[in-house]
Amino acid sequence: MQTKTLEPLFDFATMPSPMLNSNGLTGQDILSVSQFDRDTLSYIFGRAREMREMVERVGGVDLLKGKVLACLFYEPSTRTSSSFIAAMERLGGSVIPITQGVKFSSISKGETLADTIRVLEQYADVIVLRHPEIGSAREAAEAASVPVLNAGDGPGEHPTQALLDLFTIREELGTVDGLKVAMVGDLRYGRTVHSLTKLLLQYNVSLRFVAPEILRLPLKVMNEVIDSGLNVRETHDVADVIENADVLYVTRVQKERFTDLAQYEEVKNYYEITPEIMAMAKKKMVVMHPLPRVGEIHDSVDSDPRAAYFRQVRNGMYIRMALLAAVLGRA
Ligand code: ASP
Ligand code: CP
């Protein structure tokens, strides 16, 4: 059965990460969205708004002067790496960027993740890590004495993306409670979907999951959704959800996670959001995408005011500025 060959990837790390407290984020790791309660979220969102105002007014400040960020990426990235770098630089700090593929670092000589982390913390005050394995951010955090921020651990989580996604929903629609959120695409391997779904469980939302059979939400995440008691439905068809959705969260099929490329070929063009589909949607709704897109949203949707994905990108920098300031004790 196809599902069986895909399932083992979803052995999420079971150890809960410590909850964060808005009064004491200093020195904390950010590994999972499960660490955030609504108070901490509203604290971070408030700080992100202040960062936005500051950037719009003066471009940058010296809040993190003398602090160094190590940006360690074992997987490709445009947004997450660049926005963390921009965030650090706009706050007056500096960056060790290991983002050009780890082939240029001693990782290519076989250095372990734990050793790499122990080395980087000799130079840096905070480490941002993207890695292809679930649980890698936790492993790094165990090796490190400086805060580790999870920038995506394989098909596990992408917590800072979920924070910026939730912030975007809040900024675009003014509220989160009461909304109908539809997630479309690769719900199985999409780590941004896993993190955002878990974060939304703290709100009074209705959830709609739209995916072909082999890309349905992993059982472990679905069980959390069901336990939350929220209104939830699964479907294969965008047409079932488009008229009522307040948020359409579209995702890319994660080609790099498939062991069988024939399966990828079967589902890669399953959805495309077009102006015709947008014509069925509410006047006040938002289309979001963590990006990159590879055909899930037609370019002609970009000029629709409901297309929020580039505003979403910009919010990522403000959220990451707020997070860096908080974990480095400069809140
Ligand atoms: N950029 C996001 C991630 O790294 C989504 C994607 O790659 O499709 O998870
Ligand atoms: N949204 C996101 O994580 O983008 P990158 O993969 O480009 O960092």
pLDDT digits (tens, 9 = 90+) for 30-58: 999 999 999 999 999 999 999 999 999 99
Q: What ligand has the least distance to the C-alpha of 84? A: 2
pLDDT band, very low/low/confident/very high, at 103 (cuts 50, 70, 90) = low
pLDDT category, 6, cuts 50, 70, 90? Answer: very low
Q: Which amino acid is at 95?
A: V
Ligand 1 atom closest to 158 (CA): 9
Kindly give the distance from the C-alpha atom of residue 149 to the centroid of ligand 1, in angstroms, as a whole number: 16
Mutate to test the pocket of ligand 2, among 74, 75, 79 (most ligand atoms within 8 A of CB): 79
Q: Which of 170, 107, 100 is nearest to 136 (CA)?
A: 107
Predicted pLDDT of residue 150: 98
pLDDT value at position 313?
98
The residue annotated as part of the active site, out of 40, 80, 116, 192, is: 80
Residues with C-beta less than 6 Å from any ligand 2 atom = 77-80, 161, 290-291
**Confidence class of residue 15 from pLDDT cuts 50, 70 and 90?**
low
**What is the rounded average pLDDT of the residues 70-94?**
97
Residue 228 near residue 206 (C-beta atoms within 8 A): no
pLDDT band at 321 (very low <50, low <70, confident <90, very high): very high
User: So what's the pLDDT on residue 314?
Assistant: 98
Give the per-residue pLDDT at 12: 45
Can you state the angle between helices 219-228 and 191-200, rounded to 10 degrees?
10
- Closest alpha carbon to 132 in 105, 160, 158: 158
Contacts of 276 (CB under 8 A, 6+ apart): none
Ligand 1 centroid to Cα of residue 62, in Å, is: 31
pTM: 0.94
How far is residue 95's CA from residue 89's CA, in Å, rounded to a whole number? 8
Gap between the Cα atoms of 294 and 252, Å rounded? 7
From 4, 57, 103, 109, the catalytic residue:
109
Which of 143, 140, 137, 182 has its CA nearest to residue 156?
Answer: 137
| pLDDT (mean) for 157-178 | 98
Model pLDDT for residues 175-208, shown as the tens digit of each residue? 999 999 999 999 999 999 999 999 999 999 999 9
Q: Is 248 helix (H, G, I), strand (E, B) or coil?
A: strand
Instruction: Name the residue among 168, 101, 113, 165 with its Cα closest to residue 138.
Output: 113
Q: Rounded to the nearest 10 degrees, what angle do helices 159-173 and 191-200 cross at?
A: 60
Q: Are 129 and 140 in contact (CB under 8 A)?
A: yes
Active site (annotated) includes residue 274: no
Residues 6+ apart with CB under 8 A from 235: 208, 209, 210, 241
pLDDT at 71 over 60: yes
**CA distance to 23, 208, 248, 254, 285, per residue, from 274 (Å):** 44, 19, 13, 21, 15
pLDDT at 164: 98
Considering the chain, what percentage of its residues have pLDDT values greater than 70?
A: 93
Q: How confident is the model at residue 17 (pLDDT cuts 50, 70, 90)?
A: confident
Which residue did the predictor score with more confidence, 111 or 13? 111
Mean predicted confidence (pLDDT) in 203-230: 97
Does residue 9 carry a pLDDT above 80? Answer: no
User: Domains (ranges, CATH) in the chain?
Assistant: 33-157+316-327 (3.40.50.1370), 159-313 (3.40.50.1370)
- Looking at residue 188, what DSSP letter applies? T
Residue closest via CA to ligand 1's atom 4 equals: 152
DSSP 108: G
- How far away, in angstroms, is 58 Cα from ligand 1 center? 31
Residue 252: CB within 6 Å of ligand 1?
A: yes
Q: The tokens of 152 are what? A: 């995506």
* CA-closest residue to ligand 2 atom 1: 290
Give which of 249, 266, 254 is closest to 312, Cα–Cα. 249
- Mean pLDDT, residues 277-296 taken together: 98
Q: Is residue 79 flagged as an active site residue?
A: yes
Across residues 116-134, what is the average pLDDT?
Answer: 97
Whole-angstrom Cα distance, residue 218 to residue 225? 11
pLDDT at residue 331 tops 80: no
Q: Which of 67, 130, 138, 320 is catalytic?
A: 130
Q: Best mutation site among 78, 161, 183 for ligand 1, i.e. most ligand atoms within 8 A of its Cβ?
A: 161
93 lines ligand 1 (CB under 6 A): no
Predicted pLDDT at 104: 64
The C-alpha angle with vertex 67 and arms to 65 and 72, in degrees rounded to 5, equals 135
Question: How wide is the angle at C-alpha 289 spanned by C-alphas 6 and 149, nearest 5°?
Answer: 75
The answer, yes or no, to whether the previous bond of 292 is cis (omega within 30 of 0) is yes
Question: Does the beta carbon of 158 sit less than 6 angstroms from any atom of ligand 1?
Answer: yes
Calculate how far, in angstroms, residue 292's C-alpha sits from the geometric centre of ligand 1: 7
Position 10 scores a pLDDT of 45
CA distance 34 to 202: 10
Catalytic residue among 52, 67, 79, 90: 79
**200 Cα–ligand 1 center, Å:** 19
Instruction: Determine the Cα angle at 199 with ends 217 and 327, to 5°.
Output: 130
- Name the closest-CA residue to atom 2, ligand 1: 290
Can you tell me the mean pLDDT for 283-306? 98
66 φ, ψ to 5°? 90, -10
On the question of pLDDT at 224 being above 50, the answer is: yes
Ligand 2 atom nearest the C-alpha of 152 is 3
- Is-catalytic flag, 252? no
